[in-house]
Structure 1
Amino acid sequence: MKSPLVRAKKLNKVVSILTEYFENNGYSEVQLPIYEFYDLLEGVTWDFKDENIIRFIDRYTGKSLVLRPDFTPQACRFVSLYMKDYPLPIRISYKGRIFRNVDLNKGLKSEKYQVGCELFGLQEFLGDIEIIFLAYNSLKKIGLKNYKIVLGDSNLVNEIIKTFGNNRSVVKCLKEKNLDELKKLYNEKSISENEYVLLLAMIKGFGDKFVLDEVIEKSSFNDRLQQRLIYLKDLMENLISIGVEEGDIIFDATEMRGFNYYTGINFDIINSKGVVIGGGGRYDNLMEKFDWPLQSCGFALNIEEILQDIDFLDNKQKFDYLVVGENYFFKALNLKNDGFKVLWIKDELEIENIMKLYDFEKIIK
């Protein structure tokens, strides 16, 4: 039986395991408000556009409020307001729902239940390692299998854009992974041969850590670009050395999701069906907007998408007694007083249905 009760229990169990795992790794849970002032989130929230948010008016102040579309700005504000006396690095976790428009034309709304972590005040390389390691192993902790981390880097993309003088054709080419358009740019002499070879390697640069070798080789004419690629290879090699399976981390040289928001690595976690079940990255500029410039990175997991791949938590809730009948109502209460787990129902005809949802050691009727 597909039951909303079973689903709720499953969600709570997954969230409980994750929260405990984060706590054991030093990430203390904080409570964040479900809505914020529009002005506070504008300019600091991922993909913050009027058509993507759920907005309403505060009846007392007349100001615009928004159901939170993203936890990260709230986490940054919380840390900047209440945790300046804490030793660095600061580690926090959170859980709850985010809200976004998913289909403006049909008027449908979407909400996602997320659990996530944010890390503040740790240098880039160590912070990147810790946050990816934590995200990867948190999913192992709940028994998830067959998921991949697809790693991109906004720093790399921005370096490419600078190298080519913000050439929109080059950016479009990379974003779309368009080899024909790249060849056209080369034939038109819009890019040099070295640049063409590099861009070709980047567009094809999707796979394990070894795809970075060719891109590193082709970037020898740009030291800053090459050093960033070496950083990314070192990152992947170190993650593999501490237990991330080599086939579970994939590099995408032209990943451009949110390159104006992220300041370094960004990653998606994708399940075997190709569904994004989580993601995160580095956003070093964000804390500056809250008057405390700390290096920062984090991730969030989409719990309801994860639930579809979790089977072992579908066990029915167990009780010591099922007590049936109005005459046994006080018997059930006395058993509860004695410390037993007891479920009471009035009608004997409901026993068959109730047995589909719960397991009982004994039945009294």
Structure 2
Amino acid sequence: MATEGRAAILEAPGEPAVIRDIVVDAPGPNEVLVKIVASGVCHTDLTVKVLNGNGMAFPIVLGHEGAGYVEQVGEGVTHLKPGDPVVIAYRVPCENCPACRRGDPRHCYMALRPGQRIHRKSDGATCSQVLRCGTFATHTVVHAKAAIKMPEEMPLDKACLIACGVVTGVGATMNTTPVAAGSRVAVIGCGGVGLSVIQGAKLRHARQIIAVDVNPTKLEWARDFGATHTVNAKEVDPVQEVRRLTEDGWDGGVEYAFEATGIPKCTEQAVKMLAYGGTATTIGFPAATDSVNLNLGDMATGVYWNKAALHVCHCGDALPSLDFPLLAQLYLQGKLDLDSMVTRKIRLEDVEDAFHQMETGDVIRSVIEF
């Protein structure tokens, strides 16, 4: 049985998101229909808009940081039932690619996806769903393994943040590049992902966490979330300052540097911040034409002599079935701060304003409440 609802949709390149009535088909085999309660507004949704759909067919239902309640289950779904609270994962191992077959699902090449079940009511056009989710909608259909059950006591307006920004940042420190206890960490970019990296580094018991940004407000947030030092890259050379703050008689530097901006220069800076044998991790979403220039031969900061490594983080290299419940428990135990990450509560109609605030204002996350 089809379900009617509303969604924030991109209808054409270069146009703002608009609110439209939708019709959502019943879930197919191994799928679930989820009634969305809350959805975070992530920078990736803005990027999809700016990149004119980023290759997806229009119309496009935005949103991928969603939480809600299962409303219908498709054939073959036995681990979920109507009424279960869930967070939607945009990246669930496909189980068939080379990485999955060799027992490395955290590096899955693909992801399980649902059929296209959402239609614009006015003309029946089939809608694409950002990252297989489409959570800027009252209802969506996802693969059943992408609906991760939450504890009953977990508030869904906070749980939705786990779906992308939080698992990406915390997961970078736990899965992509596990931070060793007692180590030194630099975090470049203190938006929602960067602040989650800081929380992850704190959970991993790093002894020094240096936050780098050009926005004084974000640097204040960084201290609130666990940074021990802050560096304003508008006022000083961030590489020199990080190396000064970590000087230990061996040229200074951090064991781990995380770049959470998507700016190529920041990746270059992350590598130059490393101590001998350190690892830089790039997290931010780059453009197709972006490239970096890495020095090899500098004795202190060159990749060769400094024996530097570079990792790439996609969604915290998460296994949602394991990592989402872990993050929920950390929140419920008071060890992971999600409350302070919600800067604004908004309506579905306020999505365009949320995008504007993301570009021009001081906001960690706007959360749509349905």
Q: Calculate the TM-score normalised by the size of structure 2.
A: 0.24
Which of the two has greater helix per residue? Answer: 1
Q: Calculate the TM-score normalised by the size of structure 1.
A: 0.25
